[in-house]
A and B are shown apart, each in its own frame.
Chain A
Amino acid sequence: MSPPRLVITGLGAIAPNGNSVAEFWAGLCAGRDAVGPITHFDASPFRNANGGEVRGFAFAEPEASRAKQYALAAIEQAIGDAHLEGEALRSAGIVLATNFGGCEHGQKLLTAQSRGETPDPRWLAEFDFQAGVGAAVRRWGLRGPAATLSLSCASGVAAIGYAVDLIREGRCERAIAGGYDELALMSYSGLSALRAITPEIIRPFDKNRQGTIFSEGAGIVLVEALDAARARGAAIHAEILGHAMNNDAFHMTAPDTSGKGITAVMQGALDDAGVKPEEVQHVNAHGTGTPYNDKIETAAIKAVFNAHARRLAITANKSMIGHTCGAAGTLESIATLKTLQTGIVPPTIHYETPDPECDLDYVPNEARTCDVRVALCNAYGIGGTNAAIVLARWEGR
């Protein structure tokens, strides 16, 4: 029995540049910088007081975690986009991933604990990694397999990969999958202490890049077995060919300059997909704008694709929306999918000075139209976590 083919039939996005997939995608194609002053907390003590905040979001529950509410809103969009209802919805699996969960509530909990005060019992519930899955299960009455992953900034791709494996094994016909995180003081102060944040603007792959910008949001996709999608007449956005996850097995924070782990994860995803490097036209890079990441990622792309690397259109969505942590891998997978659908590769903005160590085609500053049939999306995180996914244009058969 051959494994089922897998497709994506629903999308949802809450991002710094818009609270729908349409706005998110339009913002990326326009090369619009969505980074601005952080308002959720006082960021003035830090190296950079700017971030990619979700704006204009209607919080239904003021006391609940922002992260969870972003996830629920993106799930609602994806379910609507996929026209999923009734038993097809109830039997769907759900796989969410987050770095920090309800981080702000976690900080309230720890602060109260340290001061000998009594924390509000809801804070622990909101901080819980499982809060997103739990709320979704209750809201939509889901009865399929459920899981939460936490794989630092590789989370958003890892969630899709987990859903892929569930469906491959026949555990469910479809699964809601994606990542989410909120920008909060506790995580931001830690990320700042790691000196990963740029003191100016984020400029991935540029010679003068100095670091990343942190952001928030949620991305959700509906992964579905092709046969199941066809049986219910669902519109198909793209095909998922394969995925991989691994660890650098090198150091908790220092980058592995050999790029061995990220080379292996890209190769692993291509192998899982049964795709040769030459068949790929586009890479949606992790591209954080840190001096090390972009150099090592470039070298790893060259190691995997050899001479073909120079023919790839590579982009870094983080140049416009910053690093949305647990959401990043899913939002960037959605952008990859839109590239496959439309042929438009969004630009890497703020690109001014070429770096001899980053000498590939990063689609600088202006979106470009290309014939993209197969694309790779990368996501890496603290602790050496890596994930990659291979998507293909849906050709109708």
Chain B
Amino acid sequence: MNANANEVVITGVGCITPLGLSLEALSAALREGRSGFGEIASFDASAYPCRFGAEVLDLELADFIESSKTYIDRTSAFALAACASALRDAHWTGDESVGLLLGTAWGCMDSLQLFAQKLVEGKPKFVSPLPFTHSYANAPNSLASIEFKLRGFNACLTSGHVSGLAAVEYACRRVALGKEKRLLAGGSESLSEPIFHGYCQRGVLSSTREPRPYDPASIGMLLGEGAAVVAVEEAESARQWNTPVLARVLGWASCLGESVADGLARSMRDAMARGGLGPGELDAIVGFGCGSPALDAAEIEAIRAVFGEARPALTSVKGWLGEAMGAGGAISLAAALACLEDRFVPAALPTYGPLPDGVRLVAGEPLDGAAGTLLVNAADPSGACTSLLLASA
């Protein structure tokens, strides 16, 4: 690793979640322990074995952007609103050199479904070009680039559930390599029926209204949606512009392993090593625990292997917000920024029966007080894992 790599900081954040349309709203909801789940409203889920999800139902895009949209996919709308907030928060509005890296697991499925309707009707010649162009996985990137005139580095990651956090990781890499000064990075995802149906078929969704991250008795996850985008900046550039720093990014890594536990242990170790932190120096982990018995057990196994008796506080926001797939890791990152900003660590759930062994899970009440160093984890069921290490400014 290049010892002289440029330092990376986060100077802005935008987040659109079922618990509000700003970091402040998310932070307040997590502190209060408010749930974002309800019966799914954006499509009829009554015939499915799972009927619940955490949806963003109150977004008025016109509150965030200047242009008016005759058509917009939900994945793109979430991304545009989150980008607008992050740009404002970082005072980057009008800077055309800003780059953009967004991640999404499934892209713009509602648009693809709308587009494909003519094919279902056997009229391939009469498909509409509008939903087709809006169905590309890079459509959120492109629309945000157009809206905010972002002419810098630009890419779209579609690496499953790690996509959003992996986009932030790539932004950190580009800044550390000295290739960029300023990048927006994050993830966006919408809860669409074909994907929901597929997850139902995989048998990974809980039939209850409350997924139970890290609970040994958990029976499955629930899906969520939304977007989170952060402003990733070279530390020196932030100093020059007097931009307030929300967090320093000390380390990052994406790894595959023999298993999710192995891959995550490696990505956490790599991120900690890059940041020069020992196991006893980490205050808290915002994990990917979502209520999936297999994934949650893998994360606990990896944390025990890496941190042993050091036992940093462990939480996850997916008991409140669900698994937002490609946006999930980026939303966890936004929650970690809320922890730094508002000096608390949210509880993973209000009540638990037996707690998992070998980790210090934040259960019941939030943990008050500053967490100076935080690790954010994301994992895809395929085994890809990403970790990002943050420290207070």
- Could you tell me which A residues sit within 8 Å of B by CB distance? 1, 3, 45-46, 99, 101, 106-107, 109-111, 113-115, 118-119, 121, 124, 128-130, 133-134, 137, 142-152, 158, 162, 165-166, 168-171, 185-186, 189-195, 244-253, 260-261, 264, 272, 381-386
Q: Are B133 and A253 in contact (CB under 8 A)?
A: yes
A17 to B258, CA, bound (A): 38
On whether A149 and B157 interact (CB within 8 A), knowing A165-B170, A382-B136, the answer reads: yes
A191 to B150, CA, bound (A): 26
Chain A residues contacting B382 (CB-CB under 8 Å) are: 130, 133-134, 137
Q: Are B115 and A147 in contact (CB under 8 A)?
A: no
Does B155 touch A at the CB level, under 8 Å? Answer: yes
State the main secondary structure of chain B at its contact with A: mixed
Chain B residues contacting A137 (CB-CB under 8 Å) are: 256, 382-383
Of the A-B pairs whose beta carbons lie under 8 Å apart in the complex, a sample of 10, sorted by A's number, is A110-B194, A121-B202, A195-B129, A246-B153, A247-B145, A249-B96, A381-B138, A383-B143, A385-B138, A385-B142
Contact of B154 among A143, A150, A192, A385 (CB under 8 A): A385
15 more CB-based (< 8 A) A-B contacts, given A110-B116, A189-B119, A252-B142:
A1-B3, A121-B201, A124-B198, A145-B253, A150-B157, A152-B138, A158-B155, A166-B173, A246-B153, A247-B146, A247-B150, A247-B151, A249-B146, A264-B151, A383-B141
How many interface residues does chain B have, given as a range?
35 or more
Chain B residues contacting A170 (CB-CB under 8 Å) are: 1-2
Interface centre among B106, B160, B194 (most CB of A within 10 A): B194
Chain B residues contacting A162 (CB-CB under 8 Å) are: 155, 170
Bitwise interface map of B from 355 to 382 toward A, beta carbon under 8 Å scored 1, else 0? 0000000000000000000000000101
Chain A residues contacting B157 (CB-CB under 8 Å) are: 147-150
B145 to chain A minimum Cβ distance, whole angstroms, is 4
Q: Are A99 and B136 in contact (CB under 8 A)?
A: yes
On whether A119 and B197 interact (CB within 8 A), knowing A162-B170, A252-B133, A382-B136, the answer reads: yes
Does B257 touch A at the CB level, under 8 Å? Answer: yes
A189 to B132, CA, bound (A): 9
Contact of A146 among B117, B135, B254 (CB under 8 A): B254
B264 to chain A minimum Cβ distance, whole angstroms, is 13
- Could you tell me which B residues sit within 8 Å of A by CB distance? 1-5, 96, 99-100, 105-107, 112-113, 115-120, 124-125, 127-129, 132-139, 141-143, 145-146, 148-160, 166, 170, 173-174, 176-177, 179, 193-195, 197-198, 201-202, 253-258, 380, 382-384
Contact of A143 among B5, B128, B257 (CB under 8 A): B257
Q: Are A247 and B100 in contact (CB under 8 A)?
A: yes
B4 to chain A minimum Cβ distance, whole angstroms, is 7
